[in-house]
Amino acid sequence: MNIGEVAKDSGVSAKMIRYYEQTGLIPSAGRTTSGYRTYTGIDVQMLRFIRRARDLGFQVDAIGELLALWRDRSRHSADVKQLAQAQIGRLRRKITEMESMVATLDHLAQGCSGDDRPECPILADLEGEDSRVAPACHSGQGFNR
Amino acid sequence: MNIGEVAKDSGVSAKMIRYYEQTGLIPSAGRTTSGYRTYTGIDVQMLRFIRRARDLGFQVDAIGELLALWRDRSRHSADVKQLAQAQIGRLRRKITEMESMVATLDHLAQGCSGDDRPECPILADLEGEDSRVAPACHSGQGFNR
DNA sequence: TATAGGGCTTCCAAGCGTTGGAAGGTCAAG
DNA sequence: CTTGACCTTCCAACGCTTGGAAGCCCTATA
């Protein structure tokens, strides 16, 4: 299989497949004499795995760990579970943070008349009124997608 | 005021202040004869505004719009409110998406024994078992922080 | 006044994950 | 043999932030 077909079958773009190879997330593909990358059904499976993990918000380095466990026949399911729970924790933290942003914004927006007058509590708050609504935890490491 | 002091007062790093100037989010600062950027209290206020907006999850281009309204004495509060509500919408969409990820992961993790055996429904799902739990909406444009 | 230290300047690079394009080689069908 | 779809590599950008290096400026102290 060429890269295009694998891309279609796995849902991972050809660009990304090359990138994953380059960064070492996936092993280097075989090559035809003319230099084309060649793939098998196992590769499609692996790329689907990656895509699915990304859809669940895993970062690439965490996916690397998942892949290692996936390949390891003697893995302990506890290790997989731990990675999943770490991801759940990251997601929950991020959700909490964003919910606090929504709460703040919502409160401000409700106080705003939303007409043609210039007075606006939203701007007033941003400007630094000390009547802060929520502490707006700004925070930790970046997040994907 | 030099850039370092403004950075401290506003909570925006000197690096970022230069970056914001470079990208046109804020106007170019004045310079001393020796090339140092000079700032006033108004600049501190503007940078605090920016920082606060970023804490609320606004992207830089949206902050540009907010700043324009902030400077515009004849603005309509409706315009500000609309920006805030758009941001609320973006946050809510993202939250929903992440909640669905959490739900899926949580379900999978609960089905995982988490001991030293290799069998693991989490990996099985990632591998592409068609017993998908949640459709895991993968989605829209990237998100900051 | 000389010197040390801190602050300032610029430029360049990396990080995340993904996409786009350009320039060129390869494969299939017509 | 030509055409068009596919593949290759390399380079760049997106948004936001941080880091470093090289070099100039300012101030205080010895």
CATH number for region B3-55: 1.10.1660.10
In chain B, what are the domain boundaries? 3-55, 77-127
Instruction: Compute CA distances A9 → A56, A117, B132, whole Å.
Output: 19, 55, 18
Chain A interface includes B129 (CB < 8 A): no
For residues A56 and A49, is the Cβ–Cβ distance under 8 A?
no
Average pLDDT over residues B66-83: 96
Q: For A3-25, write each residue's pLDDT tens digit.
A: 999 999 999 999 999 999 999 99
For residues B95 and A64, is the Cβ–Cβ distance under 8 A?
no
- Considering only CB atoms, B98 lies closest to which of A77, A95, A118, namely A95
Is pLDDT at A102 greater than 80 in this prediction? yes
Per-residue pLDDT at A129:
63
How many inter-chain contacts (A to B, CB under 8 Å) are there?
Answer: 177
Per-residue pLDDT at A127:
85
Is pLDDT at B10 greater than 50 in this prediction? yes
Instruction: Write down the mean pLDDT value for chain B.
Output: 89
Paired tokens of B124 = 């099985």
Q: Which nucleotide lies at the shortest CA–C1' distance from A61?
A: C16
Q: Identify the band that residue A104 occupies on the pLDDT scale cut at 50, 70 and 90.
A: very high
Chain A interface includes B136 (CB < 8 A): yes
pLDDT, greater one: A49 or B129: A49
- pTM for this predicted structure: 0.87
pLDDT, greater one: A132 or B120: B120
* Strand C, nucleotides covered by protein (CB < 7 Å): 7-10, 16-20, 25-27
Where on the phi/psi map is residue A72: left (φ > 0), alpha (ψ -120 to 50), or beta? beta
Kindly determine whether residue A77 and residue B53, on different chains, have CB atoms separated by under 8 Å.
Answer: no
Nearest CA in chain B to A85: B109
Is pLDDT at A83 greater than 90 in this prediction? yes
Per-residue pLDDT at B30:
96
Nearest CA in chain B to A126: B49
CATH number for region A3-57: 1.10.1660.10
Calpha distance A100→A106 (Å, rounded)? 10
Q: Identify the band that residue A36 occupies on the pLDDT scale cut at 50, 70 and 90.
A: very high
Is pLDDT at B86 greater than 90 in this prediction? yes
Chain B interface includes A67 (CB < 8 A): no
Kindly determine whether residue B48 and residue A128, on different chains, have CB atoms separated by under 8 Å.
Answer: yes
Kindly determine whether residue A98 and residue B95, on different chains, have CB atoms separated by under 8 Å.
Answer: yes
Where on the phi/psi map is residue A141: left (φ > 0), alpha (ψ -120 to 50), or beta? beta
Paired tokens of B13 = 């790093």
Kindly determine whether residue B102 and residue A117, on different chains, have CB atoms separated by under 8 Å.
Answer: no
Q: For B15-47, write each residue's pLDDT tens digit.
A: 999 999 999 999 999 999 999 999 999 999 999
User: Which of B126, B143, B144 to substitute to test the interface with A, most A CBs within 10 Å?
Assistant: B126
Footprint of strand D on the protein (CB under 7 A): A 2-5, 7, 14, 18, 29, 35-37, 142; B 13, 15-16, 19, 32-36, 54, 59-61, 142, 144-145
Is pLDDT at B145 greater than 90 in this prediction? no
Kindly determine whether residue B136 and residue A78, on different chains, have CB atoms separated by under 8 Å.
Answer: no
Is pLDDT at B98 greater than 80 in this prediction? yes
